[in-house]
Amino acid sequence: MLAVVGAASPAQAQFFNYYGGSGGPAFYPRSYFDGGYTLHGHSARKAARRAASHSTSRHGGPSDPGARQKPGKEAAKPDPIPQGPLTLVVSIANQHVTVFDRDTPIMESSVSTGIPGHPTPTGIFSVIEKQRYHASNIYSGAPMPYMQRITWSGIALHQGVVPGHPASHGCIRLPEAFASRLFRTTKVGVRVLVTNHPVEPTEFSHPRLFTPAPAVAAADPRDAFASTLPATPTGTKVAATDEKATAAPTNAGDRISDAFPAPTTSTTPPTTTADAKSSMPVIMAQFPAVQAPATAAPEKPLPPGPISVFISRKEGKIFVRKGFQPVFDAPVTIDRPDQALGTHLFTAVSQKDDGSAMRWLEVSMPQERRVTERTRRGVHETLEAIPPLNPSEALDRITIPAETMARISEMLTPGASLIISDQGLGPETGRGTDFIVLTKYYVR
């Protein structure tokens, strides 16, 4: 359920979604519990100022002179327009988010993710909905300003208190200044990577990555017009010309006789109208009526935007989506299908080599293993990062049919992406989403 809420004071704005999707002075008393402590009046205002101080940006933050413009001072210059595509990388271990324009970091801020009982899922996501004013439909209509949804099950980036440690119920809280700036910068469809340890996109090339289809020369419009004309029996015109050439008159008398042939005497009585009518069914029977072929229904145009491709080792298929809608899927061949491929994201950035190839960026999602340590106080478990699998080796093991490659090449544009994963289509991928690949999933 959506609701529009009024503007809050700077101190109040910091308390939106204090439960990672709950809480806020507009709906709760000034004193309410979160994370083991209670905030009242003056303490709440101090916490708000402290949370705002966590936000940093390479284009300015709360300390940005433009944010404290004095009367008579010149307004701060707006942030430069990114080239795109953008990628947001959220590190849970560092409680930090970095925004990349292609492979260059342009914005960053501290964040607050989910607490142990309600952790933030990790994986590959996209912004699937944006709302400047949003009210939670899970936590009693709690306000969530600058909401950017990444799952329909309730995970989003939005403004909230950022105390320097995990404090939400799964959402990714952003300081107010950064949340506002990020909301203005992104569009629906931007990639969001959530990992425990930070990653970044890097330049990548491989012969098996998709390439644009070669440009097709424009057809002569006269050919298109000729194709609409009725067909003429082959050789009729030529035969008539040849006949004239062979029987050309040699003198004026021949020309006159050709023009006015001599009358002929016939012993056959003239055909009556009744006889003509009676013979018509016989003639028409030789040429049965042919119905015009049924006109095929026009294909539904594809939605705008770049394509997304997903290759699943589990299902042995390749899936293609465009504009959050499925386009087609097809089987692929995977060498050694019992061995893991890893999770890799490839993003087409721009065309190169006169449009015959694409420049690609790659991010391999880190793998983790659970390390158990026994101490006097009990068993302590931690997650240890291990190097991700090689993306080149993953591509080497996948064979895509030529027909499928051709279809993808025809739709390939900058901003297109390819995801390789050992998993199938997960529970979060569905209507109104891009491919969502969870590397760690928690039931909400």
Q: What residue has token string 């083991």?
A: 36
Domain 203-214+304-428 in the same topology as domain 10-61+83-199: yes
Task: Check: CB of residue 101 under 8 Å from CB of residue 114.
Answer: no
**Integer distance in angstroms from the first to the last C-alpha of the chain?**
18
> Minimal CA–CA distance to 364: which of 250, 231, 206?
206
Contacts of 14 (CB under 8 A, 6+ apart): 47, 48, 51, 52, 159, 160, 161, 176
C-alpha 273/C-alpha 182 separation (Å) is 88
- Amino acid in position 285: A
Model pLDDT, residue 73:
54
Nearest to 310, CA basis, from 420, 149, 165: 420
Place of tokens 């939400």: 168
CA 161 to CA 20: how far, in whole Å?
A: 9
Task: Confirm if 210 and 411 have CB atoms less than 8 A apart.
Answer: no
DSSP 213: P
Separation between Cα atoms, residue 101 and residue 405, nearest integer Å: 28
At position 264, the amino acid (one-letter code) is T
Per-residue pLDDT, 275: 54
User: Which CATH number among 2.40.160, 1.10.3470, 1.10.10, 2.40.440 corresponds to the domain 203-214+304-428?
Assistant: 2.40.440
Tokens found for residue 423: 């998993």
Class of residue 196 by CB neighbours under 10 A (exposed 0-12, middle 13-18, buried 19+):
buried
Burial of 267-295, coded b for 16+ CB within 10 Å and e otherwise, reads eeeeeeeeeeeeeeeeeeeeeeeeeeeee
Using CA of residue 120, residue 126, residue 130, residue 136, what is the dihedral sign?
A: negative
Burial 170-187 (b: 16+ CB within 10 A, else e): bbbbbbbbbbbbbbebbe
| pTM of the predicted protein model | 0.66
pLDDT at residue 381, as a whole number: 67
**Cβ neighbours of 154 (radius 10 Å):** 17
Give, in words, the CATH class of 10-61+83-199: mainly beta
For 28, the 3-state DSSP assignment is: coil
Report which residue type is found at 61.
Answer: G
In the chain, which stretches have pLDDT less than 50?
1-48, 50-69, 216-230, 232-250, 252-253, 255-257, 259-260, 283-285, 442-444
Q: pLDDT value at position 316?
A: 98
pLDDT score of 220:
47
User: Distance between CA 140 and CA 148 in Å, rounded?
Assistant: 19
| DSSP state string for 276-329 | HHHHHHHHHHTS---PPPPPPPPPPPPPSS-EEEEEETTTTEEEEEETTEEEEE
Is residue 116 left, alpha or beta, with left meaning phi > 0 and alpha meaning psi from -120 to 50? alpha
Q: What's the confidence (pLDDT) of residue 280?
A: 53
Secondary structure of residue 227 in the 3-state scheme = coil
Q: What is the pLDDT of residue 121?
A: 96
Per domain, the residue ranges of the chain are: 10-61+83-199, 203-214+304-428
pLDDT (0 to 100) of residue 21: 34
C-alpha–C-alpha distance, residues 28 and 8, integer Å: 14
Strand, coil or helix: what is 8? coil
Rounded Cα distance between 100 and 200, Å, is 8
Per-residue model confidence (pLDDT) at position 271: 54
How would DSSP label each residue in 425-440? Answer: S-TT--TT----EEEE
* pLDDT at position 255: 47
pLDDT of residue 221: 43
